[in-house]
Amino acid sequence: LARKVATTLSGDPLTKKDLATCYTRGDWLNDEIINSYLALIVDYLRRTNHNAGRHDKPRFHAFNSFFFSNLRDKGYESVARWAKRAKIGGPLLLDVDTVYIPVHNNQHWTLVVVRPGERSIEHFDSLGALSRRHIAVVKTWLRGELGPQYVEEEWRVLPSLSPQQDNGSDCGVFLLSTAKAVAIGLEPLSYGAADTPLLRRKIVAELMAGGLEGGFDPAQGGQALL
């Protein structure tokens, strides 16, 4: 049996093997690491924005890494209940500040950030690829979720500037670090490829601790992430 070394916020085990994918440069981060760390970010956002109560309508959410692939391959109906289960379904979605959508495509992790309240969509790709296809997939979800309240002209696709990786394996680190930068109000371009060894260790440390450290100062620039 795999040895459990930490527990996710949902109570699932994180194993030594899971964490090793993050700690070792040259390894791709697996789904468990991606999903668990995004959950920490959402937990941090809800707590620091007084949105963590049982009866509070969630203003922050992260779908897991299977959401996008289901949506892309099987259509909206395959994920039609996901937002409702998260209490952000239908018109409630427009009251949400931030939705993180991790994307795994062709052995590469990227991140879509949807800000329903601002009617904006942003795609961060550490290999700098064009994102029109991913944006189109996300729009099918918005269209299905919002119905007549989805007005195409109201939604903006923001030009996103993502730091660029310098190898073939750090994409998951960039996904999580950019998600954290967005959460703490930091420009994603404030960190870069040279920081990934430290960022990998920081991700492991925060997963082991079960939360982000908090007290981030965006004025510190990239140091706020490290």
Long-range contacts of 141-146 (CB under 8 A, 24+ apart): 141/71, 141/76, 141/79, 142/93, 142/114, 142/116, 143/76, 144/76, 144/77, 144/80, 145/76, 145/83, 145/89, 145/90, 145/93, 146/90, 146/91, 146/93, 146/94
Q: Closest Cα partner for 224 from 73, 44, 46?
A: 44
- Taking the C-alpha atoms of residue 212 and residue 32, their distance in angstroms, rounded to an integer, is 17
Secondary structure, 3-state, 36-96: HHHHHHHHHHHHHCCCCCCCCCCCEEECCCCHHHHHHHHCHHHHCCHHHHCCCCHHHHHHC
pLDDT band of residue 5 (cuts 50, 70, 90) is confident
Domain range for residue 77? 4-224
Average pLDDT, the chain: 91
Residue 205 φ/ψ, nearest 5 degrees: -60, -40
- Give tens-digit pLDDT for 99-158: 999 999 989 999 999 999 999 999 999 999 878 999 999 999 999 999 999 999 999 999
The total of structural domains in the chain comes to 1
Is the pLDDT assigned to residue 221 strictly greater than 70? Answer: no
Which secondary-structure segment (H or E) carries 32?
A: helix 31-48
pTM: 0.92
- Taking the C-alpha atoms of residue 124 and residue 183, their distance in angstroms, rounded to an integer, is 14
**DSSP code string of 133-176:** HHHHHHHHHHHHHHGGG--GGG-EE--------SSSS-HHHHHH
SS3 of 9, please? coil
- Residue 69: give its domain's CATH number: 3.40.395.10
Which amino acids are annotated catalytic? 108, 125, 171
pLDDT band of residue 1 (cuts 50, 70, 90) is very low
Number of CB atoms found within 10 A of residue 148's CB: 6
Q: What is the dihedral of CA 163, 63, 185, 158, to 10 degrees?
A: 60
- Give tens-digit pLDDT for 182-193: 999 998 898 999
Q: Closest Cα partner for 67 from 46, 45, 38, 91?
A: 38
